[in-house]
Amino acid sequence: MSQSFNTKTVHFKSEQHRPNNSKVTPIYQTSAFSFKDLDDVEAFYNGEKDYLYSRVGNPNPDELAHVVSNLENAPAGVSAASGLAAILVGVLSVCQAGDHILASTDIYGGTYELFETELTSFGIELSFVDFKDLNAVEQAVRPNTKLVYTESITNPLLYVEDLTAIVAFSNKHSLKTMVDNTFATPYLITPYDQGVNLVVHSATKYLGGHSDVTAGVLVGDKDLIQRARSKAIHLGPTLAPMEAWLTVRGVKTLALRMEKQVSNAEKLARTLLENPDVKTVYYPKNASPNGNGAIVSIDLNDTIDVKTFFQSLGFVKIIPTLAGVETTVSYPKTTSHRALSEEVRQSLGITTGLVRISVGIEDIKDIIQAFEQALTNSRK
């Protein structure tokens, strides 16, 4: 029987990891699994047993991968110790030294730094291109191009990527596609349904939802996930059982949290759009039938003292991440995109006045009041 998204976040088959019919999967807080004899050990290597050593596999991270792949309508998945770790093993499932990646310019600064600094040291070549201009992307294709990488809703300027066009372009050139779906979550967008090969999440954000875990999940084509899992085993970015268990617990309220946070974000964006102290409001349009996301970015006018603004937000805390149930703000110039040169930041629109708001589940009147008061207090 098919299930709606809200039902799938709560009900998922993991009975094989629930001894004694426990309602919730236990936490397998163990580094290894015991065997009764050498033949029993050999049974693992023959594929007759699931677990040997927790770097190689553990029921809790496997359950998380299963849950997210089910929500994304993908056939397979693998968990990792962070979003960046999931991105890394995903890229390495497609690319090796001598290969070339086409990546969107408007992506998370940590991903940009991973690509620019670490992947190039592996001998992987990169081109950052504005994906809104597919002609420019076309011109950037090389004979050794293997992967196209972008975000479903970009960070921090919140552009909704045209995944259908990107998949068509990639298929034309026999390229694999990988999309970071962290901002949208499968509540809003399911890139795998649009033909994307790999979908990655920083599960630290909306999937976990409570700012108490660091985790990543990669889902997608079975053959690529098998390679990514092998990379994760060999490189070691394994997700711990407790973090996986907490993230699965968080996923159960994903739909409820997103419904409230998206609603609050839409109302906050409309209010700030009318405020004369705000130069620009970045908020997605037509992202999905379920709404446009729970992040709002704003560019403050020159009439506002940025430091005073951040000091005047009351209960809204400055946090270098996003997606908890509390409303928070970050300053991309000195946090997520700090490693980029000033020239690159300016070209991307990461200005001195840019503020990224992660909208929480508080009463919307209180959220609006906090930002209006901060704007009033910080006028020069």
Per run of 10 residues, the mean pLDDT along the chain (length 380 residues) is: 82 67 89 94 92 94 96 97 98 98 93 94 96 92 98 94 96 98 98 98 98 98 98 96 97 97 98 97 95 97 95 96 96 78 76 94 98 96
User: Token pair of 250, please?
Assistant: 């968080």
Q: Which fold has domain 255-377?
A: Aspartate Aminotransferase, domain 1 (3.90.1150)
- Looking at beta carbons, which pairs linking 67-70 to residues 24 or more positions away fall under 8 Å? 67/12, 67/248, 67/251, 68/186, 68/201, 68/203, 68/207, 68/217, 68/219, 68/251, 69/219, 70/8, 70/12
Check if the beta carbon of residue 200 is closer than 8 Å to that of residue 83.
yes
Main-chain dihedrals φ then ψ at residue 133, nearest 5 degrees = -115, 90
Domain with CATH 3.40.640.10 in the chain: 5-251
Task: State residue 303's pLDDT score.
Answer: 93
Q: Are 278 and 375 in contact (CB under 8 A)?
A: yes
CB 210 within 8 A of CB 257: no
The CA distance from 249 to 243, in Å, is: 10
pLDDT confidence of residue 150? 97
CA-to-CA separations, 380 to 299, 330, 359, in angstroms, rounded: 16, 21, 26
Three-state secondary-structure class, residue 353: coil
Q: In which residue ranges of the chain is CATH 3.90.1150.10 found?
A: 255-377
Q: How many angstroms separate the CA atoms of 162 and 287, rounded?
A: 10
Residue ranges in the chain assigned as alpha helix (H):
5-8, 38-45, 59-71, 83-92, 109-113, 120-121, 134-140, 163-172, 185-188, 222-235, 241-251, 254-273, 306-311, 342-348, 364-377
b/e map of 135-145 (b: 16 or more CB within 10 Å)? eebeeebeeeb
* Number of neighbours of residue 253 by Cβ within 10 angstroms: 14
According to the CATH classification, is domain 5-251 in 3.30.230.10? no
What is the helix (H) or strand (E) element at residue 317, kind and residue range? strand 317-318
Q: What is the pTM of this model?
A: 0.95
pLDDT value for 345: 78
Residue 333: strand, helix, or coil: coil
| Contact between 211 and 235 (Cβ < 8 Å) | no
Predicted pLDDT of residue 185: 98
Are residues 102 and 147 in contact, defined by beta-carbon separation less than 8 angstroms? yes
Confidence at residue 16, expressed as pLDDT on a 0 to 100 scale: 54
SS3 state of residue 199: strand
pLDDT of residue 343: 78
- According to the model, what pLDDT value does residue 14 have? 62
Q: What is the pLDDT of residue 342?
A: 77
pLDDT at 15: 52
Return d(Cα 323, Cα 182) in angstroms, integer. 9
Q: How far is CA 279 from CA 73, 276, 301, 304, 327, in A?
A: 39, 7, 5, 10, 21
Three-state secondary-structure class, residue 78: strand
